[in-house]
Structure 1
Amino acid sequence: MSLVLSIVAPIFILIGLGALVAKLKLLPATTGEALTQFVFLVAVPALMFRTLATADFGEANPLFLWASYFAGVVPSFALGMVAARRLAGADRRTAVISGVSASFSNLIFVGIPVAERAFGREGLDVLALIISIHLPVMMTASTLLLERAALADARAGTASGLTNGSAPAVSLRRTLGQIGRNLSRNALVYGLLGGALWRLTGLPLTGPVGEVLRLLSVTAGPIALFAVGFSLPRYPIRGALRAPVAITALALLVQPLAVLLVGSLLLPPLWLAVAVVAAASPTGVNAYLFATYFRAGEGLSASVIVVSTVAAALTLTGWIALMTSV
């Protein structure tokens, strides 16, 4: 357990330090956004480029890894929607936001430093494979479900006389086009693609370029964790906590448990450990971004981000202890 605490404690101390600095206003309020932009636009793309360009994946099948990971995402997403409808009486859009909050783990800001500290470079290689499809799949599925829910809510409002006129139809082509444009502007996508293409060349990643990428990569974890903490005061807990606590339980307990059950049949030990710990990461800020964009469930998603991040100090410690003892 002392080994696990030596892995987890610095992670949540950095998060707590960021929150304390923000609360005491020792740095300008814009610092959090600037740090987040640096992580998203520079540090993590550099890390993913370097990881994919030089990774050793062995002979394990990434399809089994992806199947195992999303075996946790799907039930958590579905149960999150049910929880919002049953516990909070939410509309369909808010229910989808609840599903996103229950399943969209913070693989960038928390998953990367946790995987690197707990499992070393080999663990980071495995996590890179998950990240390579996590964002596109989650963004596409979440957007399509939210567009469909928005249409259903609009039709329900029209039928009950709450709105005027007919509900606009959702254009699948327009929605997919918007998703494609969003992904095309995401620096992480270019880091992943660039690393994969460099890998195909067979060239070593050495010299000044390799050193610059290494130096940028080592900043990703610490700055990401500090940025998570610095952002927490921006997401005040609002309203009753019954739904956020239930959704947090899905994100931190049900999702990694499902990954463990399926992955134990398909994955080698290291891949299984990384997949489970990644699935046990707290809810990422993308849930709140979806909520604000679709103007639904903002308070719920913000509460889940805070509650899951705080609770993860305990639950993530337990999952790491379990997976490192197997």
Structure 2
Amino acid sequence: MIEAFSAVVPVFLLIGLGVCLDIFRALPENAHQTMSLYVLNVALPLLLFQIMATAPLESFAHPQFWLGVIAAQFLIYGACYAADRILARHNSATATVTALGGCFCNAAFVGIPVITSALPGNAEALFVAGLFTITPNLLFVVGQVQLAAHDPSRSMPQGRKAVLLHVLRYSLLYNAVFWGMAGGVLVSALGLGLWDPLNRAAELVGHTAAPCMLVTLGLTLRERLAVVLRHAGRHALLRQTALQVCKLVVQPLVCWAILAALGVEGLWLAVSVIMAASGSALVVPVLADVHHAGPEEATLTALVSNGLSLFSLSFFIWMMRLLGHI
């Protein structure tokens, strides 16, 4: 257990470094914005491009993995949405944000760095983690459509074709991470391979993604926490407890159960479960803020779950090692 905990601690030490840099104002005021853009538009796309491009094409043909990972996320999404609508009697937009907070994994910002730390130099583990990061995009599309449809300050385009084009534009066309993965898959499918200097350059830039992601989280942590503490009330405690249990315990267990039932085992099972045990994605509060659907509570969910994920990630890494999956 100590070994598993040690694999996760460096991730949170880098977040702590970001907090210290913020406290001492060691970086320009808008540094976190620049670093976020660098990660999302350059480093992470190149990392995933390099991983996908150098992987054999047959590695992508793993229907049990895709079915299990996607099914687990949508099961939790549906359960959280229904519970918030029925028990809390919240409107559809707020329930959508609650559901996303309970199932949208922080796969890119925390999941990949944890896999890198827990399984250093393991190309297959990084490949599986890269594939996993694709699946939350489906939740993002569904959530974005639901939020836009119920946002009184915004209107979706009229007609099914216009709605589809709107979603594709913002979810795929402007998504550098998607194009990085798609480009890598295309290179693999065509059997082109990567010119060795290009492969090395992409690898060097790509591996700056994880530390930059984590430092960026730390740079904005104090500000976000201050906002949360100003708005959070006593009523949030019960809801937060339920959401954290759902995200950090139930979701990885459901993912584990479905994948095991479908015959997925070994590294593919282990990486998927570990990624599912990461906290709530930080894009959820952003969506909530844009669509005026309880951004304060969404921020609280993301901050608390990412803090507690230190323990959930450590536990599931330990379990996977104990059972011989990694």
Residue 210 (structure 1) aligned to one of 185, 199, 210? 199
Which runs of 5 or more residues in structure 2 are unaligned?
A: none
Q: 1:239 aligns with which of 221, 232, 235?
A: 232
CA distance in 2, matches of 1:100, 1:38: 25
C-alpha RMSD over aligned residues:
2.5
- Which one is further off, 84-93 or 126-135? 84-93
Counterparts in 2 of 1:147-296, with a 5 A limit? 147-150=148-151, 171-182=159-170, 183-236=172-225, 237=228, 238-240=231-233, 241-242=236-237, 243-266=239-262, 267-296=264-293
Q: Is residue 281–residue 316 contact of structure 1 (8 Å, CA) maintained in 2? A: yes
Q: Match for residue 20 of structure 2?
A: 20
Give CA-to-partner distance per residue, 1:8-43, whole Å, 9 cap, x none: 111111112212322443323311111111110110
Kept after mapping to 2: 8 A contact 1:107/1:281 = yes
TM-score (norm 2): 0.87
Q: Which residue of 2 aligns with 1:129?
A: 131
Distance 2:194 2:167 in 1: 32
For residues 141-186 of structure 1, the C-alpha deviation after alignment (integer angstroms, 9 at most, x for no partner) is 11232244448x99xxxxxxxxxxxx99964333321111112011
Matches within 5 A, 1:73-112: 73-85=73-85, 89-112=89-112
Residue 297 (structure 1) aligned with residue 294 (structure 2): yes
Which residue of structure 2 aligns with residue 144 of structure 1? 145
Give 2:247's aligned amino acid.
A
Moved more, 186-195 or 201-210: 201-210
Could you report, residue by residue, the CA deviation over 1:202-240 in whole angstroms, capped at 9, with x for unpaired residues?
A: 233233212210110111111111112222223232313
CA contact (8 A) 1:72 1:257 kept: no
**Aligned positions, number:** 312
* Corresponding letter in the other structure for 2:307: V
Contact persistence 1:264–1:272 (CA under 8 A): yes
Amino acid at match of 1:295: H
Q: Retained in 2: the 8 A contact 1:245–1:307?
A: no
Q: Which residue number corresponds to residue 162 of structure 1? A: none
TM normalised by structure 1 equals 0.87
Farther off after superposition, 241-250 or 270-279: 241-250
Moved over 6 A (4+): 57-60, 167-170
